[in-house]
Structure 1
Amino acid sequence: MTVSTMRAGRSTVAAALALTLAGCAVGPDYRPPSLALPARYGAEPATQRPARPQLAEWWRNLNDPLLNTLIEEAVAGNLDVASAKAAIREARASRRQAQGGLFPTLDGGAAGSRTKTPSSQSAGGGSSLTTTLQAGFDASWEPDLFGGTRREVEAAVYGEQAAEEELRSTLLTLIGDVAQNYVEARGYQARAALARRTAASQRETAQLTRQKFEAGSSSAVDVSNANGLAAATSAEIPSLEASFAEAVHRLSVLTGRPPTALAPRLAAVRPIPSPRGLPAAGVPADVLLTRPDVRLAERRLAQYTAKIGQAEAALYPSVSLTGSISTTSARIGDLAKRSTIGWSWGPSVNVPLFEGGALRAAVDVAKAQRDQYFVAFRASVLTALEDVENAIVSLRKERERAGRLATSAAAYREATRLSRELYRAGTSDFLDVLDAERSLYTAEDSLLQSRVNSATDYVALQKALGGGWGRPVDPSRPDVVDGAGGPRLAASRR
């Protein structure tokens, strides 16, 4: 190696180190996009001052201890949550893998051989044995001159953050699904109980009608109508019980259990959960911080912005520094003492001259992907705002409807009582009783459905605002723990 070659190599190494330490990185630096958002939600009264929503454990406002327990069990046992935790572990491993590209690599190796060669000095055609042992190390390092590896690490960090937001989004959906199915289960339970009570009352009316028919003060048509109404009401019970069972099955699966696991715990009749008051919605800009799907879309945008720099770095030259050292001897004990030692080192430069447009096309692909995620981020924001607006309107209007249905049910209840008394006294026609009982059942059933809708609209609003699981979740524990690891002899197969 000449002096000029050594100086040139040192200059190359110095330049590579200088560029690396300077932090040069091609590609755009990510900045969160700025979006124009309305100052308030249109569904809220203009005179009402926006208040910050209370999203932490919002389901406790439904005042149902069993629901609180089921949500905690679902967070601990749900399979979608377990899958999201595994995705975080994968993203963290990918980030560590990308970070490894910033450091040099060092490999060690050893080899041995024994050679038998004929001896030319032996008349009898003898031979000699030669033993050769070799050991050494190979090292290499590719300085990140234009920041391609750092952009890869940056993208991996954003990918890890996106996986964490994916877990939060999964938890938000899970808690909302548990609450909604629980409310619906209690609603089917209450409606089935109403149908049983109403059918029993209608059978009493049918019995009274038969007695009046036998006494000659009623007709066979009235008896048939009374029996038909009671049977029609009873026919609603099986479908309501089936819907209740389906909701229980869904709740069991959401908690990571077989479908019928929760049936004994949910068999007892409990009231439909009813939230206290109307929750505050805050301002539209809050969804940028509270909605995990919006935050996920923003992290994906950041990740694919970094990938542009990773693709652009391939357009520029790359420098590799490699070196090796090896020692050779005839005996193991001589490898470090009386042995032949050889070494080499030096830089290599790779300059892309002609790639048929593939590298430029890769940059264009990365930019197009970034644009897609930018549009997806904007769409997620609009969807979040739409979800909140719809939930606010639905909750407010359903509560108005529930109030009017309560008034209607009370009026039909009084009408049914009066019509039965008049019918017993013989001063009213049976059709009045029939119509009153039918209207009362419809009004009471509609009121129960409205209460279910109010509770589910409350759940939907909390989901739309980004209310979810606020406690820490540890994703580091794997679901599958492998047995014996490390190298071992493979078992013989027969």
Structure 2
Amino acid sequence: MALTAPSPSVTRPRRRRALVERAVVIACAAMLAGCAVGPDYNGAGMALPASWSGAGKSGATVAGTPQLAEWWTRLGDPTLNRMIDGAVAGNLDVAAAKARVREARASYDQAVGALFPEVNGAGVAGRSQVGATRPVNNVRGAASASWEIDLFGANHRAVEAARYGLDAATDDLRNSLLVLVGDIASNYVQARGYQARIALAQRTARSQRETEALTRTRLAAGGATALDVANAAGQAASTEASIPTLETGLTQTINRLSVLSGQPPSALADAFRKIAPIPSPTWRVRRGIPADVLVNRPDVRLAERRFAQATARIGQATAAQYPSVSLTGDISTSAARLGDLGRNSSISWAFGPTLSAPLFNAGKLRAAVQITEAQRDQNFIAWQASVLGALEEVENALVTLNQEGVRIAKLVSSASNYGEALRLSRNLYQSGNVSFLDVLTAERSAYSAESALVDSRVTRALAWVSLNKALGGGWNGLVDASRPVIVDHNTGPHFINVNGSRP
């Protein structure tokens, strides 16, 4: 049997097809290999102390893993619990943080979409006539596809950066919740502190007015002087003058709580109609170790995620210095009738890779890499600063909590002794055994000691709140960030309202 060589008209299409197949295989292999340029993120490291220096020995804190879930409930105040629940649902900063999470999630989806081919289609239908010829119909259809092969990982680095950005947005939301819970608790303690100060001032002023009345009686009997009466009246008026300032502080604190809850100022005024005691921490806080802040503090995690995102962007900028390869394809067909597009039409197609490479750009691409490297350094420094700030906040809260515990014990003794001294001085003054100056001094000392005790209790409660907040205690419940604040309707094709509208 004789063998004949294939004709050139047969071998050329086969060779072209083989070349195309090889190009596709090489491109897919390169893509699947995950080639990427730029630095890989390996985490952030920082030397931390092994223990807290401000822990002290007062018993306010103990060793062990911090118990941060719903820490505010340990104050045993149902009103505070309800306010925090309402604030989480209505706070505007939290709502804005939820929107940023949705934005970051959409940006991530957008970056992932760049890894896949893009296909577009077009269709044209028309009727034409040339001179005296009969009119003819013309129907055309076309489709085009393009796919950028991620040879040097630019798109994968973009996805990586977007993923870190989504993590950062989630930590930003958690940090907003942490700040909110801490602010609600702190302002609530302040409000109860103002109520306690107002009640003390009112009680002291009434007692001083009674002393004034007693002094006037003694003046009539010749046992006191007009100077004594003037001093008694002046001291009572001075105490009463402090009450409006305290009332102003209470009102402003209630307004702050209302706005934090996403409501108009004074919306929560009814919750403070009834006076309640200053929240008193009865639970010792498990302080953990300094390394816990890296895991528990959302602001520290947020800074670390931004550092990671900045690292991924270096790879994006670096990849721009390398060649890029895209696969493009087009197919078109035309016919006189729509039904003939697939049968009697003229089909044309084109397919092949496109290579582009930067040849000269006057150093712009290298400068872009240097910019991202500098931004990476800035984010790393910001992360270090956030860690040091977190450690400082914990140490300050620890030492304040411990020292205020010691101070309260001394102030309780001071207030008790000065109260007894006031009672004795009044009895002795009424019987004429001491001068009014002794009573005046005793009243001032007793009021000062009671006021200092109230301030110390407020400071200790605030330190307890600050410690739980500094350790990373925030809202641990579910937070739905998927629901937009504004729900649009009639977003499909519709006629435009040319008149417009204003809110």
Q: What's the TM-score, normalizing by structure 2? A: 0.94
Which sits farther off after the overlay, 9-18 or 36-45?
Answer: 9-18
2:297 paired residue among 273, 276, 291 = 291
Are residue 173 (structure 1) and residue 184 (structure 2) matched? no
CA distance, structure 1, for counterparts of residue 489 and residue 210 of structure 2: 68
Question: Contact 1:40–1:50 (CA<8 Å) still a contact in 2?
Answer: no
2:478 matched to 1:472? yes
Match of 2:141 among 119, 126, 135: 135
Instruction: Write out aligned runs for 1:25-424 (5 A).
Output: 25-45=36-56, 50-119=63-132, 128-424=134-430
Residue 278 and residue 239 in structure 1: after superposition, are their counterparts in 2 closer, same or farther (change >3 A)?
A: same
- Within the candidate set 444, 450, 453, 2:450 is matched to 444
- Equivalent residues, number: 487
Q: Tell whether the 8 Å contact from 2:153 to 2:315 is kept in structure 1 after alignment.
A: yes
* Secondary structure at the counterpart of residue 427 of structure 1: coil
1:68 and 1:371 map into 2 onto residues whose CA distance is 42
Partners in 2 of 1:323 and 1:317 — Cα distance? 20
CA offset digits 1:222-281 (Å, max 9, x no partner): 111100001000001101011000110011111111111100111110000000143121
Provide the residue aligned with 2:9 in structure 1.
none
Q: CA deviation digits over 1:125-147, x for unaligned, max 9?
A: xx642332211211111111111
Q: In the alignment, is the contact (CA less than 8 A) between 2:58 and 2:405 conserved in 1?
A: no
Question: Can you list the C-alpha shifts for 1:262-305, whole angstroms capped at 9, x where unaligned?
Answer: 00111110000000143121111110110111111111111111
Who is 1:122 aligned against?
none
Q: CA deviation at 1:3?
A: 5.6
Q: What CA distance in whole angstroms lies between the structure 1 residues aligned with 2:323 and 2:394?
A: 51
Deviation at 1:452, TM superposition (A): 0.4
Q: Give the 3-state SS of the residue equivalent to 1:319 in structure 2.
A: strand
Report the more deviating stretch, 443-452 or 105-114.
Answer: 105-114
> Secondary structure of the residue that 1:118 maps to in structure 2?
coil
1:450 is aligned with what amino acid? Answer: S
CA 1:28/1:318 → structure 2, altered by over 3 Å: closer, same or farther? Answer: same
TM-score (norm 1): 0.96
Distance in 1 of aligned mates of 2:175 and 2:88? 12
Q: Deviations over 1:194-221 (max 9, x none)?
A: 1111101100100010011111111001
Q: Secondary structure at the match of 2:45?
A: coil
Counterpart selection for 1:17 from 11, 22, 28: 28
SS at 1:20 equivalent: helix
Tell me the distance in 2 between the aligned counterparts of 1:168 and 1:47: 32
Q: 1:46 to 1:437 in 2, by over 3 A?
A: closer
8 Å Cα contact 2:55-2:402 kept in structure 1? no
* Deviation at residue 357 of structure 1 after TM alignment: 0.9
**Please, which of 446, 462, 465 is the counterpart of residue 456 of structure 1?**
462
User: How far did residue 75 of structure 1 move?
Assistant: 0.7
* Range that drifts further, 263-272 or 6-15: 6-15
Are the counterparts in 1 of residues 98 and 173 from structure 2 also a CA contact under 8 Å?
yes
Measured in 2, the distance between the counterparts of 1:449 and 1:410 equals 16
What SS is found at the alignment partner of 1:404?
Answer: helix
Structure 2: gaps spanning 5 or more residues: 1-11
Aligned to 1:123: none
How far the C-alpha of 1:331 sits from its partner, in A, is: 2.1
Give distance in 2, aligned partners of 1:136 and 1:286.
60
In the other structure, the counterpart of 2:4 is: none
Residues 422 and 443 of structure 2 are in contact (CA less than 8 Å); yes or no, is this contact kept in structure 1? yes
Q: Note if contact 1:198-1:233 (Cα within 8 Å) is conserved in structure 2.
A: yes
* Identity across the alignment (%): 54
The C-alpha deviation readout for 1:361-405, integer Å capped at 9, x for no partner, is 111111111111111111111111111111101111111111111
Q: Are 2:437 and 1:431 equivalent residues in the alignment?
A: yes
Check conservation: 2:118, 2:146, Cα contact below 8 A.
Answer: yes
Indicate yes or no: 2:495 matched with 1:489.
yes
Q: Distance in 1 between matches of 2:80 and 2:129?
A: 81
Residue identity in the other structure for 2:255: H
The separation in 2 between residues aligned to 1:7 and 1:167, in whole angstroms, is 54
Structure 1: distance between partners of 2:138 and 2:162: 46
The code of the aligned residue for 1:85 comes to: K
